[in-house]
């Protein structure tokens, strides 16, 4: 089985840096993905970590530590448009490759 | 490239009816997955199709079914609708060999009365 834990809500101000954590428990592990979803919109793929370390894509970075079963999404130079829900997701390498999503973190960016 | 498209965007049905939702993946993507999103349960995987074959299936009752056509377009069907089936149904496609990268469509919002 798989389970992912992430905070339900995070608030920050424009221009700040925010980190959204994700811890997981899986019977196997294939990699950690992150998605962004604005209210009323569809999830949008942000990043994927298959190996330990940091992946950087513009203002967004994602980190993975397989030994700690932990990852995070780092958002820098926050903008109002970053207010959205952020989901971490894993695929079990136990054979079924069923993707499991966390419950999502609602990021609220204040001016 | 055009993104993933889904039809219809909104649907209202009554209990006991059935519904068919349609999804067209990004051109060249042969993998199509379906998800159900509700405030209570979050985003849950329904099933995945690849080259017209169901490759994976989530933990949903048999009332939920799907299929994929030779052009990779996919449909999902829900029979004997229940109130709890009210949800946003999302379709996603992914490039071959990159299942971790899901490109989602806008979804079909289904309301069951």
- Give B98's pLDDT tier (boundaries 50, 70, 90): confident
Chain B nearest C-alpha distance from A25 (Å) = 17
Compute the nearest-CA separation of A47 from chain B (Å). Answer: 8
Nearest-angstrom CA–CA distance, A44 and A22? 18
* A:44-73 residues touching chain B, CB 8 A cutoff: 44-45, 48, 50
| Average pLDDT of span A46-62 | 93
For the segment A8-14, the average pLDDT, to the nearest whole number, is 97
pLDDT range class, residue A45, cuts 50, 70, 90: very high
Strands (E), A1-111: 2-5, 9-13, 18-26, 32-37, 44-49, 53-57, 60-65, 70-75, 84-91, 99-101, 105-110
Contact A48 B90 (CB under 8 A): no
Computed over every residue of chain A, the mean pLDDT equals 91
Q: How far is B29 from chain A (nearest CA, A)?
A: 15
Band (A96; pLDDT cuts 50, 70, 90) = low
- Condensed to tens digits (0 to 9), the pLDDT of residues B49-82 reads 999 999 888 999 999 999 999 999 999 999 999 9
Tokens for A86, please give them: 């952020």
pLDDT band at B97 (very low <50, low <70, confident <90, very high): confident
Chain B contact for A101 (CB, 8 A cutoff): yes
pLDDT tens sequence across B6-56: 999 999 999 999 999 999 999 999 999 999 999 988 899 999 999 999 988
Q: What is the DSSP code (8-state) at residue B84?
A: G
């Amino acid at each position: 089985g798989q389970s992912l834990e992430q905070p339900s809500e995070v608030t920050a101000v424009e221009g700040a840096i925010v980190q959204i954590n994700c811890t997981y428990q899986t019977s196997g592990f294939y990699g950690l993905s992150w998605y962004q979803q604005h209210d009323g919109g569809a999830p949008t793929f942000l990043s994927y970590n298959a190996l330990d370390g940091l992946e950087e894509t513009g203002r967004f970075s994602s980190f993975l530590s397989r030994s700690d079963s932990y990852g995070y999404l780092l958002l820098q130079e926050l903008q109002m448009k970053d207010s959205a829900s952020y989901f971490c997701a894993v695929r079990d390498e136990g054979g079924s490759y069923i993707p499991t999503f966390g419950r999502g973190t609602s990021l609220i960016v204040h001016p | 490239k055009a993104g993933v498209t889904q039809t219809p965007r909104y649907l209202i049905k009554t209990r006991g009816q059935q519904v068919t939702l349609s999804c067209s993946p990004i051109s060249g993507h042969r993998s199509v997955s379906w998800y159900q999103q509700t405030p209570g349960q979050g985003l849950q995987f329904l099933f995945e199709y690849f080259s017209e074959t169901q490759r994976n299936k989530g933990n949903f009752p048999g009332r939920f079914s799907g299929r994929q056509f030779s052009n990779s377009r996919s449909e999902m069907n829900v029979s004997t609708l229940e109130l709890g089936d009210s949800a946003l149904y999302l379709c996603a496609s992914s490039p071959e060999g990159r299942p971790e990268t899901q490109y989602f469509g806008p979804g079909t919002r289904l309301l069951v009365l």
